[in-house]
Amino acid sequence: MLQGDRQGHAVRYHRVMPVEIDIVKVAQLARIALSDDELDMYSSQLADILEHAERVQALPTEGVEPTSHPLPMVNAFRPDEVGECLEPESFLSEAPDTHDGRFRVPRILG
């Protein structure tokens, strides 16, 4: 559905959203060309997302610890141990081009 804003631009609203967002303006700012069907689809999807966020915000969360992940996370770091290293000649011999013990690659900047 199209409605006019205060400046006379077309503003697209699929249905009443908790927050009014001008999908056409956002697409223009992002320099994305959207068809009417895409505008309708994204408007509907955004309305669903905002309605869901509104329902989540309405949940009683008093006494609930804030979390960053739904499951307890444990870091699985291993001890840092020095191991065997390859000799540079072993991997430089496989390179297409080398110079002074380093890989030589084509210049890509000025």
Query: What does 31-85 look like in DSSP terms, one character per residue?
Result: T----HHHHHHHHHHHHHHHHHHHHHHTS--TTPPP-SSSS-----PPP------
Could you report the per-residue pLDDT of 36-61, keeping only the tens digit for each? 999 989 988 988 998 898 898 899 99
Backbone dihedral angles phi then psi of residue 36, each to the nearest 5 degrees: -60, -40
Please tell me the pTM assigned to this model. Answer: 0.45
Would you state the structure tokens that stand for residue 33, as one six-digit string?
């060309």
Rounded to whole angstroms, what are the CA distances from 77 to 11, 63, 84, 102? 52, 32, 20, 31
Would you state the structure tokens that stand for residue 92, as one six-digit string?
């430089």
33 or 12: which carries more pLDDT confidence?
33
Could you report the per-residue pLDDT of 63-96, keeping only the tens digit for each? 988 888 888 888 888 888 999 998 988 989 999 9
Q: How far apart are CA 84 and CA 102, in angstroms?
A: 20
Q: Which residue has the tokens 């430089």?
A: 92
Query: Hey, how many other C-beta atoms are within 10 angstroms of the C-beta on 41?
Result: 14
